[in-house]
Amino acid sequence: MAGDAPVEIKHTHLFIGGKFVPSVSGRTFPTYDPRDGGIITNVFEGDQEDVDLAVKAAREAFDKGPWPRMTGYERGRLLYKLSDLLEQHNDEIAAIETLDNGKPYHIARIVNALSVKYLRSQAGWADKISGQTIRVDGPSHAFTLLEPIGVVGQILPWNFPTYMFITKLACALTCGNTVVVKPAEQTPLSALFCAHLISEAGIPAGVVNVIPGYGPTAGAAIGRHMDIDKLVFTGSTEVGRLLMVASAKSNLKSLTLELGGKSPLIIFDDANLDEAVAVADSGLFFNMGQVCTASSRIYVQEGIYNEFLEKAVERARQKVIGDPFTPGVDHGPQAQFEKIMHYIALGKEEGAKLMVGGKRHGSKGMFVEPTIFADVKDDMSILQDEIFGPVMCVSKFKTVEEVIERANGTRYGLAAGVMTKDIDVANQVTRALKAGTLWINMYNIIDPSLPFGGYKMSGFGRENGIEGLKGYMQTKSVMTKLVSPSWL
């Protein structure tokens, strides 16, 4: 199928200093069409030498270039121009992402439109970032300055390639930083296309640099680089640990880490059952379960447990699996097919009750049937480990106190949801759960104004909104002696 793609792939080179260039080594690597495993194209492979060149370009753009010295208004104007270009090319970008990633085309269009909204929201802060005037003891005038950190290294995941690329740029660039970005090796094509639009928008050369390549080479080079001031990563907890070590062994660059999740959705007896089933379904099966906040642990109170399962199974059976470019398809191919099938086998082996799915769909490509396990115990691997696929785990509970303890019984703490009509129960549970984002009678609804990040091993730091901007700025305190303090 890779040969019949409905979009032309135009950019396969590294993007350094405002130009598309081959890698120093000349090596390339293939990027694959998950519909059938065919090669879409070959992309130049970045490594240490390429990262060095990109960091040099970003450092020169930060130390000597206009970007951090522009007025906030002018930076915001260029970011708005970029957002307009992204919006104009949404169909093409979505097609590239569907081809490279496998998500249904209509979902790619919706999510990429959301990334444009994020960029515009953050760009609106560009001319509003300011410090404080602070009253201090003695004859002194004191104030703070908020300044960009410098060169930021950003390492992206494969599940939402364009969205992650744009939203991470939004905060960094709004504050006046320059960036070196490594897109996931599985999905580099949309970031490279967007780099072309960054140049077209008039953002100065060197402000954004894109280095496709592998994690152990290009990613590791970014992590340990002595001239990168901050590191931002979304991905697995295991890689997050490695980047913390790399930071500690290099220049102690600050980190924002958004790592794994195993998020609970708690459904109480009094919830609207049909609504709860719909929320659970979208919370887990959206983007084929390839979402960090996916509600992969569903706790249902005993009074509605059986009816919930019946309705959830019927809804899962109605999913349309197939070519993600085909209208009406809900589920495309999975990027981590072997891992998902391994956990499905583990669930059966450990004694969870398979209600629906659990098999490969079709004879080729990486398609997995939407899968639901019932009667899942807290110590089972499918309830503890992040599967990152369309595997819903449903468990029964009796009391509020019980479900709070069980929902918190995980090493992760990225998100959680509660379905109930009782505001007191909702308040009790949301305050007790250890997670960075909580939804009540809804799930996976996000907004650019809300900070996003995790508790525990889901990482630290916050992205988006004013909290996200703070992570890309330094605070400098300034005191001036007053010569004539008699008015104090």
Q: Which of 262, 266, 268, 280 is nearest to 443 (CA)?
A: 280
Residue type, 312: A
Backbone angles phi, psi at 404, to 5 degrees: -60, -50
Contacts of 481 (CB under 8 A, 6+ apart): 139, 140
Half-sphere exposure of 285 (CA within 13 A, CB side): 26
| CA–CA dist 38, 277 (Å, integer) | 37
Taking residue 90's Cβ as centre, other Cβ atoms within 10 Å add up to: 18
| CA–CA dist 403, 391 (Å, integer) | 21
Geometric angle at alpha carbon 265, from 262 and 269, rounded to 5°: 155
| CA–CA dist 330, 310 (Å, integer) | 20
Which of the residues are catalytic? 258
For residue 326, the SS3 value is coil
Q: Which of 442, 357, 346, 444 is nearest to 392 (CA)?
A: 357
Kind plus residue range of the DSSP H or E element containing 21: strand 19-21
Kind plus residue range of the DSSP H or E element containing 144: strand 140-148
The pair of three-digit structure tokens given for residue 230, joined into one six-digit string:
């901050």
For residue 416, the SS3 value is strand
The pair of three-digit structure tokens given for residue 233, joined into one six-digit string:
């990563």
- Sign of the CA dihedral 356, 360, 362, 363? negative
| CA–CA dist 398, 421 (Å, integer) | 17
Beta-bridge partner residues of 181: 154, 210
Residue type, 461: G
| CA–CA dist 258, 103 (Å, integer) | 21
The pair of three-digit structure tokens given for residue 97, joined into one six-digit string:
């992402």
Which residue in the block uniquely carries the two structure tokens 């970029």?
A: 82
Give Cα separations from 488 to 140, 477, 478, 480, 485 (angstroms).
Answer: 10, 21, 19, 15, 6
